Amino acid sequence: MSVKVYQYSKCSTCRKALKWLDARGVGYDAHDIVTAPPKKAELQRALKSGVPLKKLFNTSGQSYRDGGWSDKLGKVTETQALEALSADGKLIKRPFLLSGDSVLVGFDEAAYKKAFAK
């Protein structure tokens, strides 16, 4: 199974998620979410898997606050939101993980256990 993890090295949640994967021998390709954010198609895949649009946003981040996204989010189209996310990796809640049919946003140990049950 191919696992792709978009992460930010200064993010403690990302480090925790990668440590969890390492401890269980889960191989992955790590990508810097800031320099190479997920493509729009990967973000759409998250929506199709049931992740709500708002959950894709890093609501505690500087880009979210500076962009006025708390006011904008309910007013922009899904396409506009996805374009903004794919253009600014710091807007995206991280880590953002793609594995088979699973898309995981943030680090929730129970969700990771379920996704990587052997």
Q: CA–CA separation, 103 vs 48, rounded Å?
A: 10
Strand partners, 61: none
Q: CA–CA separation, 56 vs 90, rounded Å?
A: 11
In the chain, the domains with their CATH numbers are 3-115 (3.40.30.10)
96-99: strand order across its sheet = 29-32, 3-7, 96-99, 102-105
pLDDT at position 100, please?
85
Full pLDDT tens readout for the chain, 118 residues: 689 999 999 999 999 999 999 999 999 999 999 999 999 999 999 999 999 999 999 999 999 999 999 999 989 999 999 999 999 999 999 999 999 888 999 999 999 999 998 6
Q: What are 7's two structure tokens? A: 């992460």
- Residue 50, classed as helix, strand or coil, is coil
pTM (global) more than 0.75: yes
Tell which residue, 116, 100, 114, 92, has the closest CA to residue 13: 92
pLDDT at position 1, please?
60
pLDDT at position 118, please?
65
**CB neighbour list of residue 89: distance below 8 Å, 6 or more residues apart:** 6, 8, 32, 33, 34, 35, 36, 37, 38
